[in-house]
Structure 1
Amino acid sequence: MMAVVDNDQKSIFSQIEFAFPILNQQLQTKCTDDQFAKIVNDIKVLNIAPRVDRLVFQSIEQFIRSNVAPVFWKEFTNVTEEEYGFERFKNAVDGLYSNLSEFLPLLKRLQVLQAQCEIAKYLGHSLSNVLGRFNLTVRSTLLSQLPFGHETIIKQFYKIAFNVFCNTDSSIHGNLLGDGPQSQCGGCKYELENCQCQLIVFMFHETNRKLIELELLERLVGNVLTLLIHIRIESHVRKSCEGTFDVSQLELLENWLETVVMNWLTRIYSGGSSKSVALSQPIREAISKFKQKLLHFLYETYTKIRIEQLFNIIIEYPDSQPAIDDLRICLERTDLRKVLVETLQEALKTRLLHPGVNTPDILTAYIAAIKALRQLDPSGVLLETVTEPVKVYLRSREDTVRCVISGLLDDSPSDLADELIKGEYLQLDEGSVEEEDENWEKWLPDPVDADPCKSTQRRMSDIISMLVNVYGSQDLFVNEYRTLLADRLLSQLNYHTEREIRHLELLKRRFGENQLHYCEVMLKDVYDSKRIDGNIQSDTSYTLEEQYFLTSALILSAQFWPPFKEEWKLQLPKNVQEQLAKYVKAFEALKGNRTLCWKPHLGNVHLEIELKERKFDINVTPIHATIILHFQDKNEWAVEELAEVMHAPATVIRRKITFWVSQGLLKETTTDVFVLQEENAVKNRSVTESIVEEEEVESAMASASDQREEELQVFWSYIVGMLTNLDSMPLDRIHQMLKMFASQGPGAVECGLPELRHFLDRKVREHQLLLSGGLYRLPKS
């Protein structure tokens, strides 16, 4: 019995080779249905169906590995031109599909064998699908032989197809990607009369259909397809956002992704149909997931590009409001806040925070950043983080406060002037700020990177408050306003103060009346001066006396005005002094026990100068008038002689005398020797005029920073006394004790914590203090 079985088994294996000809690679061998049925029955009797199944698939794998795969991958080498790559990839897929199609009769016989012999209960459910197992065998065998650089022709194939698709699809009509001449097709690049777009579309869909049937589409071209789409998304986003900030792009980009990219993907997976209903449920789910990934990539790409452009977006705000709104939405959907902070800080550093940029321009950019970043992040965290280097840099510039005050008082439309008109109260970081009633339903917590200590100020501080907080104290701004107000009042030729009163009232709403009391007195001095001068001019005892010239005075209350810069006292000509003495006498007669002390280097002088060939009618400063009046007595003066007569430094005389040289009245004959020119002979006028104009705008008052430095020196004796008694103290303790003892009483000077820190740190650099472990101490003598 066993011998019969052995002989039967030898016979059946020869029959298997006949029924499944892949075993001996004779694919053309014919086996009739009756013969095949008998062989299947014998296999069933001998119970060797699982062994036959495995043997056939092993033979299939070996055949594909040795004959099919090398032929397929051979088409993927040595390709440079895109058109040739497109053709090679199509031919490779066609050849593979044709070779694998010859296995279909064999696979059908395996299915019959499975059904007749119930192989599924031996192989398991996962191996019962013959076609699925065959595709898995093909896929694993092919991918195990991937050649280097195989993605090149795949990329070329889909790139050409995508160009053609964008050029011909009616849903995106007008969005042609071809940049060639009009006689050339934008999709296939052929001449219009020889356009190959329709043929390319047909070959494209046929190739995808075959890859889908072989279950190779995702594994073979998935990475390349994703990379190509990413490149196209980035290119399209960059092109859409190039220099355009006043139009929202996000919705347009989302629509483009849906109508172009996703439509193209749907056509790929459906073999040409643009409707997703033609796809199976797993494919639709896969496309949906892929769409979410592409959307995220779109948001990320858009955000990165806008971050690169954010400096320009800020400068153009509020015209760039749509770009800010888009970026805010994308920041919520991506994790690029840190990239934004680092990129924008670097842009501010390289393009704004350096000596080549004027302080007003820095302030303009800073104000624009405040407005734009608040729209971008209403919590204020981005604003606080990004602009910290700007605040540090502004603090280092000497003219920052003056530029801020000038901007506040600018009559032409400006950001600071508009902010001043709003009339909000000043909010300082060091002060206690009461929370406003908020709508709790709209309340949102601060981001995780927020400083909880500044949450209240971050929400409430306006632009002016933020500029004041750069220095931590409003005293410096008030003093600078006093200085600027003094310059304006001293430079005008009349007693009009309506404009200055309006500005003062606006500032009082910001800084409080107590802070600006001195400024009120200054304006009152102007009003009183007008009244007093009117009384003197109407006094017959004064007007009947012989007068060399008309005199009017601005009478100042010295203790309320800022200190003056000049330390020397100008010696006026004798006749001018006599005229001023008459004015003082008339004032004393009017005011009784009060008198006047002149500031001879301040004021305006109206001169009428007559020469041989010309006349001058000009307004100049007293020192300029004094210089030219001395040439009335003598035609030639040396600078040292004038300096001695006028009691002024020679350097000042040398600088001021260039004005008359520019006007052609004086000429320098030798070094520092000038002579009066009666004839008209003006040379190099433009050069000297520029020097004089620059020199003429100099302030007569000491700067606010210099005044503040003198005020802070008041604290130094207190600090030395405290550290002498207590040896060492932290910053907070020093600040508390100064507020308790040194900042009491009328006219007391206040000092904020940041300003005190800078003051003490400067003392450390000057080796007058030591800082160790957060404690300040005096150096040992």
Structure 2
Amino acid sequence: MATDALKRQIAGKWQNSFARLNRDQEGIVGLLVFSEAWTLATEFLHPRDLNDPAANKDWDMSQVRVAVETLSRSKMLPLLLENFLEDMRKQQHLITRDVQQYISQYEEAEDIHHIARLIYRLLEWYRAWVPISELGHTILSAYTLTFQTHVYSILPPSFSRGFKQLVNATFEIGMSPIAPPWLPPTPPALQSLVPAPRPDLPLWGAFEQLGLLDRNESLISSVCYEHIEAHILGTCARRWSERMLQPMREWMTNKIVPWMVMPYARGARSAEEARSMLQGVGSRFDFHVCKTLSDLRTREIFDIIIDFPDSQPALEDLKECLQRVDQRSQLVQTLRKANRKRLLHPGADTKDILTQYVSIIRCLRLVDPPGVLLFKVADPIRRYLRERPDTIRCIVASLVGDGESGDSLVDENEPIQPLQQIQVEDYTDPSWEPEPIDAGPDFRTNKPSDVISTLVSIYDSKDLFVRELQVLLAQRLLAITDGNFDRERRNIEILKIRFGEAALQVCEVMLRDMTESKRIDQHVQSQKNMILHPTIISRHFWPPLQAGKFVMPGQFKQIQDDYAQEFHAFKQDKKLRWLPHLGTIHLEIELQDRTVPADVPPLEAAFIELFSEKDTWTVDELIARVGSVDRPAALKALATWVDMGVVKEGAPNQYILLEVAEDAATHPRPTRMVEEAPAVLTVEQQQADQMKVFWKFIEGMLRNLGTLPLDRIQTMLKFAPNYDRTIEQLGAFMEAARREGMVTVSGGMWKLSRA
């Protein structure tokens, strides 16, 4: 049984509650007034069914406000809120039914019209159930949270797709004064929401009231990002001849920023306030403009470099974008990958690789003046070019070329300057700047700035280029037939500026030899008119010439002796040593029925001269008469006359002079070009000949010491006279010797093959 104390406690609480509800009025008048107020308030707040016309009821709002005031004085609003929220939970199935209906229609038709109708329908539910403002902000916030929580819990994943499509469609209708057909008319209940200068303004208002803007902020941003990307890709792709970054920013100002007012600055009361609210998100979108354009130009970078200098505006855009976004490493990786795939492979010509490398130098210096990007991109190209045997020759040919091809590596507008060498940094220089933050440990800021110095720096020494210059210049000088050496003299002067006076002394001697040879020939011709016009050179100052020791027969030998006699009379302290295998001889061969003109090398002339003695010769007899000629060269020389129809092949290895031409229809002869071999040995040929000399040293080492590693052979060879090969070059020579069966290798140890 209850104790007296408990009874007194319950009675006290009852009296307090009754006093609070009755509000000190007589009898139970106050309690009756409270009861009426509670009934009126709960009926007014009870969530109604919008689909049931009978649920619509006209309320006297003055009576509702009085009832709310009564409950407030009685401190019963929290209980009223609990009752209201419980009623909402019981009525939520009404909203779920409508959501499922509209979502089903959308999923069936993929028409955003149904998503728009769903948004407006949800807003109608929200406004139909919303408490009046007199209940206070707390009840309104609790209602909004409960309503949105339920709505978000029942929206299927397909709603996000439809909502994104709906937001995307606002780009097209935002600036249009006419609403699209799919956008339903603004319901009467929303017409007083905000004035609508734009057809999509009520839609954004519905988004905001339903909390869809905050919940889907990243989705809305993605729509804007996709519009920016689509416009940039559609407008800027492969348009490299004009600046595109500023037009894209102007497009964003004219098209994107007005649209951004709706999702990001709807509450602005002035243009200045709207501008302040849009500053942060506008900076994000400007960053995305730069990033998208940077990604596009990065993907196109290889073709942009090919199109340089016409593509310079695109590179300037890329430079500005890289200052805004951190895409430098992506640019390096993309360009290096493109170079490996499209440039650094055996199918690419060395001249094309060099041309592209020069364009890369110029382009990346424009994008990144400190040269960090160029250093990272150029390293694989330089290593690949260093392994190609004709790289130096291509560079040198461009330096002394006549420019007729139009694709010279050297820009005619670039000033001619000496080769720049990498120097130690002077940290006391007041203009010194630290290396860029993304520079690697091997990077140096004072890299050569001109293209030629950069190309020469591929190799450790410029001596290789000087030797190749000497060979190429010798070939060009010997090919001149009109005696005009002005172009080569100009080339030498330019090269002296680049490589220095000392490096070009040998070239100066070669040029003086050519001039002196012309003067000597003029003197000899003045003493005795001769048909021979030789080129006289100083043997010790010229690169090695092609070897050949055969003797010209008959009249050719007499002509050489007569010329040598006149030369000795003019230059008594000197003697001529003929190189009969070099040069060209013009002949007119008189046969019984025809005269055949021909410009042929000396060996061909020597053979046809012997046919004046008798009509039939074997190959062995011809070789025996002229001297040191290998059989393939002899057969090639005879094939020239066979092709011209002057001789024919009879029995095997026997050739017969054709005094009377045979019928061409009976014996058709293919057209054959007579190519003259270069007179000067290339640097590779010179190195191969020298290595044959060094082979004697290697053979002696291996015979006396048995087996040796490559580095030990290299160390011992350094004591040999004029040995200047690298261990890589020695390794290539030893590998060639192994293929010929001269040596064997096992575990890195080399030894002579057994005979």
Q: Shorter-chain-normalised TM-score: which range?
A: 0.7 to 0.9
1:572 aligns with 2:552: yes
**Residues 243, 313 of structure 2: 8 Å contact kept:** yes
**Residues 613, 680 of structure 1: 8 Å contact kept:** no
**Residues 514, 535 of structure 2: 8 Å contact kept:** yes
Alignment partners' CA distance in 2, 1:324 and 1:709: 45
1:703 aligns with 2:677: no
Change (3 A) 1:299 1:13: farther
Task: Encode CA deviations 1:684-737: one digit per residue, 9 max, x unaligned.
Answer: 877633xx4xx43x422222234357779999999x99xx9xx99999x99xx9
**Counterpart of 2:672 in 1: which secondary structure?**
helix
Alignment partners' CA distance in 2, 1:357 and 1:332: 34
Deviation at 1:478, TM superposition (A): 0.8
With CA pairs under 8 Å and 6+ residues apart, which has the higher RCO, 1 or 2? 1
Residue equivalent to 1:527: 515
Q: TM-score, structure 1 length as denominator?
A: 0.77
5+ long unaligned stretches in structure 2: 1-10, 23-30, 49-54, 183-195, 739-747
Alignment partners' CA distance in 2, 1:658 and 1:436: 70
Alignment partners' CA distance in 2, 1:45 and 1:451: 76
Residue equivalent to 1:583: 563
Alignment partners' CA distance in 2, 1:312 and 1:684: 50
1:561 aligns with 2:554: no
1:493 aligns with 2:519: no
Alignment partners' CA distance in 2, 1:103 and 1:415: 81
Deviation at 1:599, TM superposition (A): 0.8
Residue equivalent to 2:192: none
**Residues 601, 623 of structure 1: 8 Å contact kept:** yes
Please tell me the residue identity of whatever aligns with 2:122: L
Change (3 A) 1:712 1:579: closer
Deviation at 1:629, TM superposition (A): 3.3
Deviation at 1:28, TM superposition (A): 4.6
Alignment partners' CA distance in 2, 1:461 and 1:713: 40
Deviation at 1:485, TM superposition (A): 1.2
Change (3 A) 1:457 1:14: same
Change (3 A) 1:223 1:45: closer
Task: Encode CA deviations 1:388-415: one digit per residue, 9 max, x unaligned.
Answer: 1111221222221111111111222554
Please tell me the residue identity of whatever aligns with 2:526: S
Alignment partners' CA distance in 1, 2:385 and 2:358: 12
Residue equivalent to 2:581: 601
1:650 aligns with 2:631: yes
Please tell me the residue identity of whatever aligns with 1:479: R
Deviation at 1:237, TM superposition (A): 1.1
Alignment partners' CA distance in 1, 2:611 and 2:269: 102
Residue equivalent to 1:181: none
Please tell me the residue identity of whatever aligns with 1:206: P
1:238 aligns with 2:233: yes
Q: State which of 296, 301, 317 in structure 2 corresponds to 1:310.
A: 301
Please tell me the residue identity of whatever aligns with 1:147: P
Alignment partners' CA distance in 2, 1:235 and 1:714: 68
Change (3 A) 1:150 1:710: farther
1:400 aligns with 2:380: no
Residue equivalent to 2:219: 224
Residue equivalent to 1:47: 75
1:89 aligns with 2:142: no
Residue equivalent to 2:27: none
Deviation at 1:502, TM superposition (A): 1.0
Deviation at 1:497, TM superposition (A): 1.8
Alignment partners' CA distance in 1, 2:645 and 2:656: 11
**Counterpart of 2:317 in 1: which secondary structure?**
helix
Residue equivalent to 1:134: 143
Task: Encode CA deviations 1:513-571: one digit per residue, 9 max, x unaligned.
Answer: 111111111111112212222222222xx55xxxxx611221121111111233x4233
**Counterpart of 1:149 in 2: which secondary structure?**
helix
**Counterpart of 1:538 in 2: which secondary structure?**
helix
What's the C-alpha RMSD, in Å, of the aligned pairs? Answer: 4.3
Task: Encode CA deviations 1:330-369: one digit per residue, 9 max, x unaligned.
Answer: 1111111111111101111111122222221111111111
**Residues 354, 409 of structure 2: 8 Å contact kept:** no
Please tell me the residue identity of whatever aligns with 1:144: S
**Residues 426, 510 of structure 1: 8 Å contact kept:** yes
Alignment partners' CA distance in 1, 2:592 and 2:663: 9
Alignment partners' CA distance in 2, 1:587 and 1:468: 43
Q: State which of 448, 454, 467 in structure 2 corresponds to 1:479.
A: 467
Change (3 A) 1:5 1:660: farther
Residue equivalent to 2:417: 424
Residue equivalent to 2:166: 157
Alignment partners' CA distance in 2, 1:370 and 1:614: 61
Paired residues, number? 689
Alignment partners' CA distance in 2, 1:551 and 1:262: 86
Change (3 A) 1:248 1:57: same
Identify the range of structure 1 (667-676 vs 615-624) with the bigger mean alpha-carbon deviation.
667-676
**Residues 158, 225 of structure 1: 8 Å contact kept:** yes
Task: Encode CA deviations 1:580-619: one digit per residue, 9 max, x unaligned.
Answer: 1222222222222321111111122122234566544443
1:256 aligns with 2:278: no
Alignment partners' CA distance in 2, 1:41 and 1:645: 136
Deviation at 1:17, TM superposition (A): 4.8
Alignment partners' CA distance in 1, 2:320 and 2:523: 69
Alignment partners' CA distance in 1, 2:323 and 2:692: 50
Residue equivalent to 1:508: 496
- Correspondence 1:155-304 to 2 at 5 A: 155-164=164-173, 204-220=200-216, 222-267=217-262, 281=273, 285-304=276-295
**Residues 396, 465 of structure 2: 8 Å contact kept:** yes
Residue equivalent to 1:447: 436
Deviation at 1:434, TM superposition (A): 7.6
Change (3 A) 1:674 1:247: farther
Deviation at 1:293, TM superposition (A): 1.4
Alignment partners' CA distance in 1, 2:177 and 2:234: 20
**Counterpart of 2:156 in 1: which secondary structure?**
coil
Deviation at 1:219, TM superposition (A): 2.1
Task: Encode CA deviations 1:393-447: one digit per residue, 9 max, x unaligned.
Answer: 2122222111111111122255444469732111244xx468699883xx65432
Please tell me the residue identity of whatever aligns with 1:449: D
Deviation at 1:321, TM superposition (A): 0.9
Deviation at 1:508, TM superposition (A): 0.8
1:681 aligns with 2:697: no
**Counterpart of 2:599 in 1: which secondary structure?**
strand
Identify the range of structure 1 (241-250 vs 42-51) with the bigger mean alpha-carbon deviation.
42-51
Residue equivalent to 1:196: none
Deviation at 1:70, TM superposition (A): 4.7
Deviation at 1:384, TM superposition (A): 1.4
**Counterpart of 1:581 in 2: which secondary structure?**
helix
**Residues 245, 317 of structure 2: 8 Å contact kept:** yes
**Counterpart of 1:370 in 2: which secondary structure?**
helix
Alignment partners' CA distance in 2, 1:56 and 1:310: 65
Please tell me the residue identity of whatever aligns with 2:155: L
1:19 aligns with 2:45: no
**Residues 607, 638 of structure 2: 8 Å contact kept:** yes
Q: State which of 332, 336, 343 in structure 2 corresponds to 1:345.
A: 336
**Residues 245, 323 of structure 1: 8 Å contact kept:** yes
- Correspondence 1:92-111 to 2 at 5 A: 92-104=118-130, 107-108=131-132, 111=133
Alignment partners' CA distance in 2, 1:327 and 1:644: 71
Residue equivalent to 2:93: 66
Seq. identity, %:
29
5+ long unaligned stretches in structure 1: 115-127, 171-184, 190-199, 544-548, 769-776
**Residues 433, 456 of structure 1: 8 Å contact kept:** no
Alignment partners' CA distance in 2, 1:450 and 1:554: 55
Please tell me the residue identity of whatever aligns with 2:684: S
Alignment partners' CA distance in 2, 1:426 and 1:742: 32
Alignment partners' CA distance in 2, 1:318 and 1:680: 59
Q: State which of 531, 541, 544 in structure 2 corresponds to 1:550.
A: 531
